[in-house]
């Protein structure tokens, strides 16, 4: 069973051009929505009296949640994929190094494009690192509260 699975993974990796590695194994199949940090943040935001919507598309983009009344779009960015300054990968090694690097660059470009498009559509954008929600979820929720009451402008940064 396990061997069949490994064979299937290796075959898939070969098709995609990626080499299967031990380091990559724990990243496969990670949930990207309704992650624990995201759910904890939503709870804390709700307890501050803010109301939000999930699965709301704004143009081509789908923020993790939006506060329609405040025109605020919130993204909870995973530290690895979105390259948090504390936990993002510094340098890639191994057979997939250049692929990881271009994936990271593509994510960064997509985040910036989303910020710009949402701002142009009249939305405020708040990005919160996953690690911020883990370290102090109430402080992270407070950022949402502050951003909610900030005038519409560019991306909100703290």
Residues that bind Zn ion (CB under 5 A): 79, 84, 86-87, 129, 131
Residue identified by tokens 């759910």 is 39
Nearest approach in angstroms of CB 149 to Zn ion is 26
Nearest approach in angstroms of CB 68 to Zn ion is 28
Beta carbon nearer to Zn ion, 45 or 79: 79
Nearest approach in angstroms of CB 87 to Zn ion is 4
- For residues 141, 142, 148, 154, the Cα torsion angle rounded to the nearest 10 degrees is -100
Spatial separation of the C-alpha atoms in residues 57 and 60, rounded to whole Å: 7
Beta carbon nearer to Zn ion, 72 or 76: 76
Exposure class string for 3-37: b at 16+ Cβ within 10 A, else e? eeeeeeeeeebeeeebebeeeeeeeeeeeeeebeb
Backbone angles phi, psi at 140, to 5 degrees: -65, -40
* Neighbouring-strand partners of residue 67: 72
Tokens of 157: 């940064």
Nearest approach in angstroms of CB 132 to Zn ion is 7
């Amino acid at each position: 069973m396990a061997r069949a699975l490994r064979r299937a993974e290796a075959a898939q990796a070969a098709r995609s051009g990626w080499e299967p590695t031990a380091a990559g194994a724990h990243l496969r199949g990670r949930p990207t929505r309704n992650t624990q940090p995201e759910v904890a943040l939503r709870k804390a935001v709700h307890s501050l009296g803010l109301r939000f919507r999930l699965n709301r598309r704004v143009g081509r983009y789908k923020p993790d949640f939006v506060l329609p009344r405040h025109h605020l779009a919130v993204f909870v960015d995973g530290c690895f994929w979105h390259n948090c300054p504390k936990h993002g990968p510094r340098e890639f090694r191994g057979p997939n190094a250049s692929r990881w690097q271009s994936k990271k660059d593509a994510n960064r470009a997509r985040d910036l494009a989303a910020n710009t498009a949402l701002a142009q559509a009249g939305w405020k954008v708040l990005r919160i690192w996953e690690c911020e929600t883990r370290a102090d979820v109430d402080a992270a929720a407070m950022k949402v509260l502050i951003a909610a009451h900030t005038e519409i402008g560019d991306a909100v940064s703290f």
